[in-house]
Chains A and B, each alone.
Chain A
Amino acid sequence: MKPFLPVLIALASGSLVAAGQTTAPSETEDVPLKGEEVAILTDPPNVPPPITRKHPTRVTVELEVTEVVKRMADGVDYTFWTFGGSVPGKFIRVRQNDEVDFTLKNHPSSKMPHNIDLHAVTGPGGGAKATFTAPGHKTNFSFKAVNPGLYIYHCATAPVGMHIANGMYGLILVEPKEGLPPVDKEFYVVQGDFYTTGKYGEPGLQGFDMEKALEENPDYVVFNGAVGSMTGENALQASIGETVRLFVGNGGPNLVSSFHVIGEIFDRVYTEGGSRYQENVQTTLVPAGGATICEFKLETSGDFILVDHSIFRAFNKGALGILDATGEPDLVVFSGQKKDEVYLPEGGVVQAIPSDSRPAAAAATKEERIAAGKIVYGANCAACHMPNGTGVPAAFPPLAKSDYLNEDVDRAIDVVLHGLQGEVTVNGDKFNSIMPKLGLSDEAVSNVLTYVYSEWGNSGEEVTPAQVAKVRAARK
């Protein structure tokens, strides 16, 4: 209906030029519909394969609604209402001008009637009233995917807020008829806010809290339905040099997402899931009931962290995921920390670096001690003494084949514990600098020194935490 109106107005005013500008004919022309197929549906974070056919077809989509108890966080369960058993629901991928034959099945064990409003549908209710389905029933309707784009779908049964708050949303991608540019990896990420009777982290099966939902004060803001859905072994996997496309949705029900990937700049963002892209974007808004497509090339390796940059949600409510890019890092793109020098606004005294409060697992063998010490060395020592212990002439003394180091173990421990200031002679060279007090635990000091002694032609001494404790006590 909509496209005709400007044409009519243009004709009435006698301006054919205006009509030509209003609609570009090439955008609406397409080859005839041909054949039929069953849509491949995927659970998050997976995305069905790109559509390669060059013509529209008749696509069958079947979604099953189930009400299931699943993990929200460690020790915390929730009764999710789902499109296909997961939150978000199944990813649906069709092509522009496809005719979609859609069946919604409501499992007999459901307590509620459900339906689906696909934002990709042109028509009243987006399919909601056509799919209003009692438990143990299934309904069917069809629609033509007129507009390309990335769209949210959700349950729209009253009270709609509660159905969405329980996880009833997902994404449907309508690929433009010319297709999307090829990329190496595609992922499916949807943010949602959850309102539980217990506070964040309170264990057990949590119920829906209507008051908190009305106040828009969620306990959980998560990606893909659970805290940790994309961290640890569930992290998204890609490799350096690959181009990644994220299909990002926001189910809401209430919050707008400030979607950001720490350490990446989106090369292209198809704002709001539409047809045009913005380039070089740091953070993009994903409205509740909206979506966006983010693309970026992984120019270096490492962990890239997906967050809602309304950052308390990431830090305290769960809105955090990890994209693990494997490969050798490109040190030109990103060097990592090159130096950590003591900044001395007050002049030269030994500074204390705040202690690391994380308890380290005790090393059981010398090998374990060396392995742990290597990490401590990399984090605390290598910047000055260099990764291979050579130091920097006239600035930082060497640790490799170091007479100062090897002739007195207790002195070495003392230096690591308390820092060092003033002139020292190492292997015949004079150094007059300041080493900060590192604030390491006894375990960490013993590990790092055992590592240093085991490397670069040093004595091979094993330093135990007990020795460190003794030196620490002697100074008090």
Chain B
Amino acid sequence: MKHAVLVLACVAGFARGEEAVGTSPVPPEMARVEGGEYLPMFGDRDQPRQVDPFLLDRLPVTNAEYLRFVRDHPKWRRSRVSRLLAAENYLAHWTGDLEPGPGAPADAPVVNVSWFAARAFLKARGKRLPTEDEWEFAARADADRADATRDPAFLARILAWYGKPNPPVLPAVSNAETDLRGVAGMHGLVWEWVRDFNNQTVTGAARNDASLDRSLFCAGGALSATDAANYAAFMRYAFRSSLEGNFTVTNLGFRGARDLETNINP
């Protein structure tokens, strides 16, 4: 099932001519996201942000993939990880250090992982976390449109997921909705870490950062938002700003990104 989705998605990608000439081939597990301008939820509304083209994992990282990582990197096992890098509930839903168990099916997204852990995982694979801008830019897409955020039905679907309780066991990543680039599960599966999760609205550990007040509490939230009716985006920004780097959350996973490598042959 997963395989079939990937193949179709690749075909779709080629058909849309997203494979630019002059770049290295896109790895099969990733999709190319053409960059562009976008207006982030918070920021100067006269100053759209430029997002450069980048590669994004088609799927979030699964328990099976994460298990291989902790096998190879013992210091990231649950019993050994530093508390500075991952809080007590790191991989709390796994049965043991190397046994994900029934609460963490192999093909479900891995959750209860810290930002530090996600970074280490991706670094070992030559990847990185997407930036908040990259993630938000890519997440505007649905199956037909690169930017569906003007469609109230699209936002309502996302919001409906945010309003539902977490299932006790997360579903397989392959069941997630796929967008026109072949990127699946950006909405409706798990929250995802971004590289600068605390960059936009909170700086460092400063919970009393003044911009946080303006951005995220009560009606203040509406003042600096570019689209006060986009509740779905509000919730992602609010969620991210509640986090610190060693936090782990039962429905927070991640996926990888990579810069485009320009094909410079000597």
Contact = CB atoms under 8 A, between A and B. Distances in A.
Interface of A: 67-69, 79, 108-113, 115, 117, 124-125, 128-130, 132-137, 156-160, 162, 166, 197, 207-211, 214
Contact of A133 (B155, B235, B242): B242
Contacts of A162: 159, 163, 231, 235
A128 B239 CA distance: 14
Contacts of A156: 217-218
Contact of A160 (B92, B219, B250): B219
Interface size class of B (residues with CB under 8 A): 35 or more
A113 B237 CA distance: 10
A68 to B, nearest CB: 7
B238 interface: yes
Contacts of A125: 213, 217-218
Contact of B217 (A67, A134, A160): A160
A163 B147 CA distance: 27
Q: State the 4 A-B residue pairs at the shortest beta-carbon distance, nearest first.
A: A113-B242, A158-B221, A134-B242, A159-B234
Contacts of A79: 163-165
Residue with the highest number of chain A CB atoms closer than 10 Å, among B212, B215, B219, B238: B238
Given A108-B250, A208-B163, A157 B238 contact: yes
Contacts of B165: 67-69, 79, 109, 111
Nearest to A132: B242
B243 A111 contact: no
Interface of B: 89, 92, 152, 155-156, 159-160, 162-166, 207-208, 212-213, 215-219, 221, 229, 231, 234-235, 237-239, 241-243, 247-251
A303 to B, nearest CB: 36
Contacts of A133: 242
A109 B167 CA distance: 9
A157 B241 CA distance: 10
B247 A158 contact: no
A79 to B, nearest CB: 6
Nearest to A108: B250
A211 B152 contact: yes
Residue with the highest number of chain A CB atoms closer than 10 Å, among B163, B208, B231: B163
A61 B73 CA distance: 42
6 contacts: A112-B238, A125-B218, A133-B242, A156-B217, A158-B217, A159-B238
A162 B155 CA distance: 14
B162 A111 contact: yes
A66 to B, nearest CB: 9
Given A111-B164, A159-B234, A129 B218 contact: no
